[in-house]
A and B are shown apart, each in its own frame.
Chain A
Amino acid sequence: MIRRALVVALLIAVAVPLLLAMSQLPPHGSPDTPPNTHVSPYYLEHGAEEGGAENIVTAVILNYRGFDTEGEVTVIFTSMAAVLAVLMLAKPDRAPRVAPTPELPVSVVVRFIVRVLAPFIAMFAIYVILNGHVTPGGGFQGGTILGALVIALSLVLSREDADALLPRKPEHLLQAAAPIAFFLVGMAGLLYWGEYLYFPRDEAQRWIGVLMLTIIEIGIGVGGACVLIRIFRAMRTE
C-alpha cells in the first residue's frame, strides 16, 4: 500500500513539472518557434541544390550531418557485435533445462501469404532504399523492410532453406556494409576534394553527389538488414 502511494507520488512529482514546462512552450505548430527559425529554413531553402537530395530529411542525414550518421551506423554494427558476444560466449547453462519445443507446423495460410508477398516486399524495399533522396524513405527504412522480409521468410521456411537465404560467407562482409560505404564515400571526398565526406555542390557535379548519396543509402540498407537478420538468428538459436 505504501509502495503504491510512493509510486503515485513519484509519478506526480515527475508529471507536474513536465506539464508546467509544456504549458509554457510556444503553441504547437506555430512557424516562428525557436526550432523552426534557426538552421532549418536554410536547409529547406538550399537543401535541394546543395544536398543533392530533394528529400530534405535525407539531405540532412547524409550530407549536412553525415558525420553523425556515420557514427550512428557504427553504433548499430557495434551493438550487433555486442549481442553476439553476449549470446555466443555464454557458458553451459546452470538453468533448469527446458525441453526443446518441437517446431510447430506453420499455418498453410501464413506460409502461402508470406511466399506470395515476398517478391513484392523485396521490390518495395529496394525501391525505398534507392529512392531515399527523392521520396520518403532511405537506407534505414528500406533496410528494415528487407530484414523483416528475411525474418518473415525464416519463420515459414525450414531451417536449411532459411539459412540459404543469406549464406555465412557474404554475410560477414555485408554486416559492415554501412560503415564501409560511408568510409569509401568519405575517402573519395578526401582524395578528390581534400575534405572527408565532402559532397560536390556545383550544378555540373550534382550527379556525383547523387551517386555518392545512393552508394551510402545502399550500404546502410544492406548493412542494416544484415545486422537485423544476424541478431534475429543469434536469438533464435537460444
Chain B
Amino acid sequence: MMLQGLWQNLDYVASVVLFCIGLYTVITKSNLIKKFMGLNIMETSVFAFIVALGVVDGGDAPIMGAGAEPPFINPLPQALILTGIVVAVSTTALALSLIIRIWKQTGTIEADELREIE
C-alpha cells in the first residue's frame, strides 16, 4: 500500500531524497561553503516539491492566447517558487559574503577549526 503510494508520487519522493542529500551535506561537511551548498540543495528540494504539486497530467504551460487549451498546469506554485528562488539567491549572496568576512577575520572557513579558535 505504502509502496504503491510512493510509486505514484515518485516526483515527491525525488524531492525527499534531494532533501536528505542536502541535510547530510549540512551535517557532515565542516567547510562552511559546502555546508551552505547543502542548505541550497535542501531549498531546491522544497522548491521542486511545491512545483511538482501543481503539475496536472497532460497540462500545458498556463499561457493563454491563440491555441491555448485546458488543462493547464497550476500557475500558483510556479509564481510562488519564482519569488522563492530570488529570495534564495539573496540569502546565498549574504551568506557567502559573511563567509568571506569570517575567512578574512580568522583565516579559516572550517567549522572545527573555528570552534577551537573560540
Contacts and interface: CB of A to CB of B under 8 A. Distances in A.
Interface in B66-118: 70-72, 74-79, 82-83, 85-87, 89-91, 93-94, 96-98, 100-101, 103-107
B37 interface: no
Contacts of A57: 62, 75, 78-79, 82
Nearest to B77: A35
Interface in B44-60: 52-57, 59
Interface stretch (A67-75, A102-110, A203-211): A67-75
A72 B61 CA distance: 24
Interface string A219-231: 0000010000001
Given A22-B5, A82-B94, A61 B16 contact: no
Nearest to B7: A23
Contacts of B63: 54-56, 134-136
Interface string A20-31: 101111011111
Contact of B24 (A7, A69, A86, A140): A7
The SS class assigned to the B binding surface is helix
Nearest to B75: A56
A123 interface: no
A15 B65 CA distance: 43
Q: Report the interface size class on chain A.
A: 35 or more
Interface residues of B, number: 60
Given A44-B62, A93-B105, A36 B83 contact: no
B92 to A, nearest CB: 9
Contacts of A83: 93-94, 97
Interface in A3-28: 7, 10-11, 14-15, 18-20, 22-25, 27-28
Nearest to A24: B5
Contacts of B75: 40, 43-44, 47, 56-57, 59-60
Contacts of B105: 90, 93-95
A134 B27 contact: no
Contacts of B59: 31
A126 B75 CA distance: 23
B46 to A, nearest CB: 11
Contacts of B100: 86-87, 235, 238
B79 A7 contact: no
Nearest to B28: A7
Contacts of A24: 5
Contacts of B10: 28
Nearest to B14: A22
Contact of A90 (B83, B85, B104): B104
Contacts of B77: 35
9 contacts: A25-B5, A29-B55, A72-B83, A72-B86, A76-B86, A87-B101, A224-B86, A231-B93, A234-B97
List of 7 A-B pairs having minimum Cβ-Cβ separation, nearest first: A23-B5, A79-B90, A95-B107, A48-B64, A29-B57, A56-B62, A60-B79
Given A23-B5, A96-B107, 15 more contacts: A10-B27, A14-B19, A19-B6, A25-B5, A28-B8, A39-B76, A44-B70, A48-B65, A56-B62, A57-B79, A59-B75, A83-B97, A87-B101, A238-B100, A238-B104
